[in-house]
Amino acid sequence: MAQRLRLRSPSGNRVTVDLADTPTVANVSASIRYAGGSLARGFQIGSRGFQKFASTYVAASVVHDRFVVHGREVVVARQIDGAGATAALIGDYHELMTVYGGPPPAREAVISLFSTLTIEDRADGMVVKPLDATLLNEFSELLTIAVAGRGLVSVPGPAHMRHHVPAHQGQATRHGEVWRGLVGGVDKASRISDYLFTMGFSRGVSEVHLTPEPDLSDDALLAWMNEIQVDWAADTAGGK
């Protein structure tokens, strides 16, 4: 039996992602970027503890400030080396985090930023939308599924998935077709992790970067990848 993830993206759209039954999914995260006029801001969404993980394992940081915005705690963390900072709004299930370059911004600036958003946090995902008065539009959206011993499955939002699919026909898979290209920065492939696989389905797209365990054959990895299917709900933008 396949693993079936029923997720809600930051824009509020519903998607079902099927994967082989093993190994189990290690983590699901999301990102969304809004832009309009002279303003652009990206957000990352992860399960509770997301910011603490980033502060421990990505860029060593310490808590700089804590306060409440619309009934939710916001934590600002600054990097120990002074190179950047993060601000995370803590929901019931997820955290909404944004990254700043340089020292942490003033508390008033962070409050103003999070006050421009409507946020709904549920077990299947956090929905984040700017207020109409901001005139901000969705620029990009991505779900990322990490599977230990296999790699990353990235799922672009339905409004953007057409930009990820090549114009030519791909090789047939169990649920659609696949295209293979080199990972950015790689000129010549010497192993399967040097490739980025784009998979197309009737109502979805995924990009797969395989990062296998040492004793796993390429054939076993490709067989695992062949089980992937992405299906955005038919009533979402871009659905058929």
**Does the pLDDT at position 14 exceed 60?**
yes
What's the token pair of residue 139?
């620029």
**Given a cut of 90, is residue 214 above it in pLDDT?**
no
Distance CA 45, CA 143 (A): 9
Tens-place pLDDT, residues 44-85: 999 999 999 999 999 999 999 999 998 999 999 999 999 999
Task: Note the pTM of the prediction, 2 decimals.
Answer: 0.91
Q: For 159-167, what is the mean pLDDT?
A: 90
Contacts of residue 23, defined as CB under 8 A and 6 or more positions apart, other chains included, come to 147, 148, 149, 150
